[in-house]
Amino acid sequence: MRKFFLVVTLLSLSAPTGAIAEPTPQQQQRSGTPEEQKACAHDVQKFCRPVMNDDDLTVLACLQQVRPKLTVACNKVLVDHGQ
């Protein structure tokens, strides 16, 4: 179920990066509020299913490509995180 929560993508892009190892998919923790996760879960499943298990930047790129089709709630999450 957590693979539907792409908010880590949005938050990770706005957070500073450091020289840390990238976690494996099993170790990766999704972040963002439950409301943010819920806001985009349906959009990711509907529009980005083929890439939803790929890296976060791929999922974000997919959402940006289908932006006119996104729900108002998911679009607001993107905007709130500078995307």
In tens, the pLDDT along 24-33 reads 443 354 556 8
Distance CA 75, CA 19 (A): 30
Q: Which residue has the higher pLDDT, 8 or 78?
A: 78
Query: The pTM is what?
Result: 0.63
| pLDDT given for residue 80 in this prediction | 93
Return the closest-CA partner of residue 64 out of 80, 47, 41: 47
In tens, the pLDDT along 41-50 reads 999 999 999 9
Distance CA 17, CA 67 (A): 26
In tens, the pLDDT along 50-75 reads 998 888 788 889 999 999 999 999 99
What average pLDDT does the structure give for the chain?
Answer: 74
The residue extents of the domains of the chain are 2-11+32-80
26: exposed, middle or buried (Cβ count in 10 Å: 0-12, 13-18, 19+): exposed
Distance CA 33, CA 23 (A): 20
